[in-house]
C-alpha cells in the first residue's frame, strides 16, 4: 500500500477511536497511541527515507494534514468531556436559593431556671428578699457561722471541695443566710437560690453541682406553725395543687428543732412507686427553727428574735415535676433534652 493510503487509513481509524473514547482517560490513551512521540504517526514518518522526493513531498503533506485533523478532533472531544463534567457537577451541586431559610431556633429556659423563677416570684409576693452570695465561700460562712465547728461530725456529712488558702466551694446556699443576717439584721425574710457543690460520686441521682433555694425568716415569735404554713404554700404553688406533708425529726446543726419535710408522692399519691421507692413519701425539704447560736454569731439576740430556715433542692424538684429520671441530663447542655422544656 502506498504511504499516502496508509496515512489516510490510519487517520480514519484514529478518528473513529477518538469518537468512541468513553472518557477523558480513554481519550488521552488514544492520543498517546496515535500522536505521541512513539505513536503510529511518528512510526510512519520513519519510512520517509525510502521514498522518492516527489513521493516524500506528497506523503509529508498527507501526514501533516492527518496530524492536524486528529489534533483538532482530539481537542474538540476533550472539550466535550470537560463540559459534560461541568454540567454534571452543576446538576449535582444545585441549590434552590429561593427556599426559605430554617431560621433561628427559639431557645427555652432551663427547667431548673423555670422553677427558680417561679419560687422567686412566690417569695417576693410574700415579702421575701432574693439574695445572692459567692460560690467560693469562706470556711466561716459555710460552716462555723452555721454552728458547725471544725471538729463537728456534721462536716463529714458534706463532701467538700476545698480550695487553696482555706476557702471552699459552698456546699449549700446557707452561707447566704449568714451574710443576709449580718448585712440586713432582723426582722428578715429572704431566700437564696443558687448553685452548690459537693464532691459526690456522680450517678443517675447524684451530681457534684446542683441547685438549691434556701430561705429564712427571722422575726418575733416565729414558730413551727409559721414554718409549716410557708412550706405548704411553697409546695402547693410549685406543684399547682394541695400537697400533703409530714414532718420527721431531722438533724442539722444550724436548726433546733430540725425536720425533714416529706411530701406525699405526687406520682402514685401514696401507695408506693419507684419514684418514692415504694414508701409513698418523697423527702424534699429539710428545715427547722434557727439555732440560737447561729443567730447570736450573726449579731442577732436569740432572746428577742427567732426564725425558721429551710433548704429546697431545686434540681430534685425539677426532676419530680418533669419526671426526669437522670440528674446528669440537667447539666449535660444537650439541646435534644433542653428543647423539651
Residues of this chain that bind ligand PHE (CB under 6 A): 172, 174, 214, 252, 255, 258, 286-288, 309-311
| Grid cell at residue 247 | 414532718
Instruction: Please identify, using beta-carbon distances, which residue of 74 and 308 lies nearer to ligand PHE.
Output: 308
The secondary element (H helix, E strand) that includes residue 134 is none
DSSP label at residue 104? P
Is the CB of 10 or the CB of 231 nearer to ligand PHE?
231
Which is closer to ligand PHE, CB of 111 or CB of 307? Answer: 307
Residue 30 or 148: the one with the smaller Cβ distance to ligand PHE is 148
Grouping H, G, I as helix, E, B as strand and the rest as coil, residue 301 is coil
The CB-nearest residue to ligand PHE is 311
**Nearest approach, Cβ of 253 to ligand PHE (angstroms)?**
9
Gap between the Cα atoms of 34 and 28, Å rounded: 10
Cβ-based neighbour number of residue 255 at 10 Å:
25
63 vs 216, beta carbon nearer ligand PHE = 216
Q: How far is the CB of 202 from ligand PHE (least distance, A)?
A: 18
Give the nearest distance from C-beta 231 to ligand PHE in angstroms. Answer: 11
Beta-carbon count within 10 A of 157 CB? 14
Q: Are 206 and 200 in contact (CB under 8 A)?
A: yes
- Separation between Cα atoms, residue 140 and residue 134, nearest integer Å: 13
**Closest distance to ligand PHE from the beta carbon of 157 (Å):** 8
The helix (H) or strand (E) run that includes residue 279 is: none
Closest C-alpha to 319, from 112, 91, 169: 112
Angstrom distance (rounded) from CA 307 to CA 304 = 11
End-to-end CA distance of the chain: 90
- Which is nearest to 276 in space by CA: 266, 285, 286? 266
DSSP per-residue letters across 209-234: EEEEEEEEEEETT--HHHHHHHHHHH
In the complex, the smallest distance separating the C-beta of residue 133 from ligand PHE, rounded to whole angstroms, is 13
Task: Note the Cα 147 to chain centre separation in Å.
Answer: 39
Residue 198 C-beta: closest distance to ligand PHE, Å = 9
- In the complex with ligand PHE, which residue's Cβ is closer, 18 or 168? 168
Name the residue nearer to ligand PHE (CB basis): 178 or 287: 287
Min dist CB 168 to ligand PHE, Å, is 14
254 phi and psi angles, rounded to 5 deg: -95, 0
Complex with ligand PHE: residue 59 or 261, whichever CB lies closer: 261
Closest separation in Å from C-beta 311 to ligand PHE = 3
> Shortest Cβ distance from residue 268 to ligand PHE (Å)?
26
249 in Cβ contact with 232 (< 8 Å): no
Closer residue to ligand PHE, CB minimum distance, 7 or 319: 319
Of residues 216, 227, 120, 135, the one with CA closest to residue 172: 135
Amino acid at each position: 500500500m502506498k504511504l499516502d493510503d496508509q496515512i489516510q487509513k490510519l487517520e480514519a481509524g484514529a478518528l473513529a477511536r477518538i469518537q468512541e473514547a468513553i472518557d477523558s482517560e480513554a481519550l488521552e490513551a488514544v492520543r498517546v497511541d496515535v500522536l505521541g512521540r512513539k505513536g503510529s504517526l511518528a512510526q510512519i514518518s520513519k519510512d520517509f527515507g525510502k521514498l522518492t522526493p516527489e513521493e516524500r513531498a506528497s506523503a509529508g503533506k498527507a501526514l501533516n494534514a492527518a496530524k492536524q485533523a486528529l489534533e483538532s478532533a482530539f481537542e474538540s472531544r476533550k472539550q466535550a468531556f470537560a463540559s459534560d463534567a461541568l454540567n454534571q457537577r452543576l446538576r449535582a451541586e444545585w441549590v434552590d436559593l429561593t427556599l426559605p431559610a430554617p431560621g433561628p431556633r427559639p431557645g427555652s429556659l432551663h427547667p431548673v431556671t423555670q422553677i427558680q423563677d417561679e419560687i422567686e416570684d412566690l417569695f417576693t409576693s410574700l415579702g421575701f428578699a432574693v439574695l445572692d452570695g459567692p460560690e467560693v465561700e469562706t470556711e466561716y460562712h459555710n460552716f462555723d457561722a452555721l454552728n458547725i465547728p471544725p471538729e463537728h461530725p456534721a462536716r463529714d456529712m458534706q463532701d467538700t471541695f476545698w480550695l487553696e488558702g482555706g476557702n471552699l466551694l459552698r456546699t449549700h446556699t446557707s452561707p447566704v443566710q449568714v451574710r443576709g443576717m449580718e448585712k440586713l439584721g432582723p426582722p428578715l425574710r429572704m431566700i437564696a437560690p443558687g448553685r452548690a457543690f459537693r464532691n459526690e460520686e456522680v450517678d443517675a441521682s447524684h451530681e457534684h453541682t446542683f441547685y438549691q433555694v434556701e430561705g429564712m425568716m427571722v422575726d418575733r415569735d416565729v414558730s413551727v406553725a409559721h414554718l409549716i404554713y410557708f412550706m405548704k404554700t411553697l409546695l402547693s404553688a410549685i406543684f399547682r395543687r394541695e400537697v400533703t406533708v409530714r414532718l420527721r425529726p431531722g438533724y442539722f446543726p444550724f436548726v433546733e428543732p430540725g425536720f425533714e419535710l416529706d411530701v406525699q408522692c405526687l406520682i402514685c399519691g401514696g401507695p408506693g412507686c419507684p419514684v418514692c421507692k415504694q414508701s409513698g413519701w418523697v423527702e424534699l425539704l429539710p428545715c427547722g427553727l434557727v439555732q440560737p447560736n447561729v443567730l447570736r454569731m450573726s449579731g442577732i439576740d436569740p432572746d428577742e428574735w427567732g426564725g425558721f430556715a429551710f433548704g429546697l433542692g431545686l434540681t430534685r424538684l425539677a426532676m419530680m415535676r418533669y419526671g426526669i429520671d437522670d440528674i446528669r441530663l440537667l447539666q449535660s447542655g444537650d439541646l435534644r433534652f433542653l428543647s423539651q422544656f
